[in-house]
Amino acid sequence: MTGTRTLPQTASLDETGLRRVLAVLCLTEITSWGILCYAFPVLSVSISADTGWSLPVLTAAFSLSQLAAALTGIPVGRIIDRIGPRVVMAAGSVVAVPSLLVVAAAPNLPIFYAGWIAAGIAMGAVLYPPAFAALTRWYGDRYVKALMILTLAAGLASTVFAPLTAALVDRYDWRATYLVLAVILAIITVPGHLLGLRGRWPHPPTPTGNHPVDHRDASRSRAFAALVVALGLGAFAAFAGVFNLVPLLIEQGFSPSLAALTLGLGGAGQVLGRLGYLPIAARTTARTRIVVILAATAASTALLGIVTSVVALIAVAIGAGLVRGIFTLIQATAITDRWGATHYGRLNGLMSAPIVIIMALAPWAGTALSAWTGSYAHAYLILAALAVVAALIGAASIPHQRKAGIAP
């Protein structure tokens, strides 16, 4: 897919080693996503009730953690390109544990915010981008299948940790719950990254054809700018849509329980989308994939704002989840599809930073749009229009100079 060739000495892990790092990353991504990200929405109401801090103030602390994660991802990608993921991801896990302890013990908002900013720094070193960089380099030409398996596994994070967090907070309080979760994080991720990601880091693949060898040539290109803008707008529409789906459905007459079930069915749709990515990638070009999926994002988002029947809304929500599942893998493979894997960590960090920031703002922005337009349905139509713009820009995200024999 990438048209790159690798140096003969790049093979550094045998099949057993490759299976080990993939299994370890699946386990640590489920745990990291579940505890660092998905536990917060479950606990936020309890935190607000106990402390008197408003939900918008609490959400702002979590959004700051996403900003810290985005900024951390840039140097993390550069370091992983040089030395591999083991030290970086193990260090991120070590930082994550005391960060959660600070959050759990915070007596006031400044310390609560400080804990989340530290947790965000840890997220930048342990969530998807560094894991994607690890598998892309280690798996070589088979990286797409490895990324698909990883994202399928990580999709279980909310399934595992949302109910576990809810059960813990029902029995204890939110502070004790975070203490328990911090212990789980320490037991699974610190030794997992330190011991499971051992192995010689391969040399970077050597670019062929007309692709730039210098990462600066790629990052300063119009195609790179178009890619970041297209994926950023697409992520904004998709994540504002998913985080505001429950209020939209309640506005349309759903009960809260049915709205929550529909949101869960959208998660099942993501799994289907990720399962289907491998045959899609084999039969389409990078340009076709990004344009079609962003257009599908626009269509599904618009339909959520238009249709009103219960059955139709559930069906569209599942379809929107399927599109989001494919979108995740398009983002994971975007750099390699266009510029090869030579500077994947560095370029993916540069690409991911603004996208993560946009994703952090998306839930609040979706709510603000609904207040401005008077309904969630109208807000979804605006989000759909942004996704249409993203699809048009996505068509320009392919470098003009192509490798010999590789179609855009």
pLDDT at 407 over 50: no
Query: From CA 197, how far away is CA 192, in angstroms rounded?
Result: 7
> Which of these ranges, 120-124, 263-267, 344-348, 386-390, has the smallest mean pLDDT?
263-267
Q: Which two tokens mark 336?
A: 């390699």
Mean pLDDT of the region 39-49:
85
Q: Where are the beta strands (DSSP E) in 121-218?
A: none
pLDDT at 368 over 50: yes
What's the confidence (pLDDT) of residue 299? 96
Pick the residue with more confidence: 207 or 81?
Answer: 81
Query: From CA 366, how far away is CA 372, in angstroms rounded?
Result: 10
Give the number of residues written for the chain: 408
pLDDT at 195 over 50: yes
- 46: amino acid identity, one letter: S
Whether 15-197 and 215-396 share one fold: the answer is yes
H or E segment to which residue 3 belongs: none
Query: From CA 286, how far away is CA 268, in angstroms rounded?
Result: 25
- 150: amino acid identity, one letter: L
The CATH number of 15-197, from 2.60.40.420, 1.20.1250.20, 3.40.50.1580, 1.10.3720.10, is 1.20.1250.20
Contacts of 8 (CB under 8 A, 6+ apart): none
* Angle CA 322–327–328, to nearest 5: 105
Do 314 and 252 form a contact (C-beta atoms < 8 A)? no
Show me where the domains of the chain are located.
15-197, 215-396
pLDDT at 405 over 60: no
Average pLDDT of the residues of the chain: 87
- pLDDT tens digits, one per residue of 66-78: 889 988 988 998 8
Q: What is the full DSSP assignment across 284-328?
A: S-HHHHHHHHHHHHHHHHHHHHH--SHHHHHHHHHHHHHHHHHHH
What's the confidence (pLDDT) of residue 292? 96
- 215-396: what fold? Growth Hormone; Chain: A; (1.20.1250)
